[in-house]
Amino acid sequence: MLDYVISKYNFWIYIILMMIGLYAMIGKKNLVKKLIGMNIFQSAIILFYVSIGVKEGATVPILSGHGHGHGHEVIEAANYINPLPHVLMLTAIVVSIATTGLALATLIVIYRKYNTLEEDEILMIRKETGV
């Protein structure tokens, strides 16, 4: 039982982090809090992918020798952690920065128009003014 917990608890931590983000996105009324929840969700996904690439007893995927002239020695794949999730998560971080920036710009425009960032107040103002 303890072995099972030790071998799987990293996934549970990411799932709890993801639940916090999802609850902030669904349950909170403030739009900035919703955006922070989305960022927590993205962080959970990124940590999950990075943890998939871990190999026990391996090191970072940077080879000590130089590229040329050292092709004869055999590189043992078990000695280096999986580089592919790291590359994919670099791409995901770039996309998350882009979406966060655009969302923050949109929030500034919403605040200029309605003078509030609470979702229910914005909906009430829209209903009153008929816009």
Kindly tell me which residue out of 34, 35, 41, 53 binds another protein, with binding defined by CB under 8 A. Answer: 53
Q: Quick check: 30 and 121 in contact, CB under 8 A?
A: no
| 32 near another protein, judged by CB under 8 A | no
Whole-number Å distance between alpha carbons of 114 and 122:
7
Hey, which residues between 70 and 129 contact another protein (CB under 8 A)?
70-71, 74-75, 77-78, 80, 82-87, 90-91, 94-95, 97-99, 101-102, 105-106, 108-109
Residue among 46, 41, 53 at smallest CA distance from 16: 41
Determine the Cα–Cα distance for residues 33 and 23; give it in Å rounded to an integer. Answer: 10
Please state, as a whole number, how many other Cβ atoms lie within 10 Å of the Cβ of residue 110.
Answer: 14
What are the residues binding another protein (CB under 8 A)? Answer: 6-12, 15-16, 18-19, 22-23, 26-27, 51-58, 61-68, 70-71, 74-75, 77-78, 80, 82-87, 90-91, 94-95, 97-99, 101-102, 105-106, 108-109
